[in-house]
Amino acid sequence: GSSQEEPVKVGVALVDVLTGLHLGMGVLAALRHRDLIDGEKSGQRIEINLLSTALSSLVNQASAYINTGTVARPLGNKHPSISPYEVFATGNGELAVAAGNDSLFKRFCQAIDREDLAQNPEYATNDARVARRERLAAEIEHTLVTNTSEHWFSNCREYGVPAGPVNDIAQAFKFAEELGLDPVQNISGTRVVSNPLNFS
């Protein structure tokens, strides 16, 4: 969405999920500590809260604030310091592109047959591309709308560029099945999402 939109929450209780995952790691660390400390009989009290989890999960945005005072502003699907690293319209949907460095940008330009963009000095470095983000995005989208998300995804894979069609939930499960990830398990007659962890 545009930077003018009102604040929007994510579609699931993401901070709750992340807090639970952090807590699980804390429990495992406490058990490991108990096992390594010879003769220790007592456990550890583990404390965690949602706000601390939310702040630590801001990753690069939190780092930018605590080190430079930069307060992130809404950018929709754009990355604050990398371009092109966003979602573009295609002929039949949308494509997420993560050309995170100069080499990937050049390969992305090859994948979409726009090597002229890679050769343009105005887009030679990431800083230059970020400064001209809107103009570059318009050039890219002008090309991407001429074919399908699947076509561009195939080209990007061929050139090793991180990209993919924007999927709804049904399409995401179908894609996981195509990749052989077995995204659904049947446990006692109930279908559940597979645990992402796989052990040998």
Catalytic residues: 16
Quickly list DSSP for 131-186: HTHHHHHHHHHHHHTTS-HHHHHHHHHHTT--EEEPP-HHHHHHHHHHTT---EEE
Residues contacting 162, CB < 8 A, separation 6+: 97, 98, 99, 100, 104, 156
Task: Name the DSSP class of 122.
Answer: G
Task: Name the DSSP class of 114.
Answer: -
Q: Which residue has the tokens 């983000």?
A: 133
* Structural contact between residues 156 and 165, judged by C-beta atoms closer than 8 angstroms: no
- Dihedral of the CA atoms 152, 1, 79, 71 (nearest 10)? 180
The 10 Å Cβ neighbour count of residue 36 is: 8
Nearest to 99 by CA among 156, 61, 138: 156
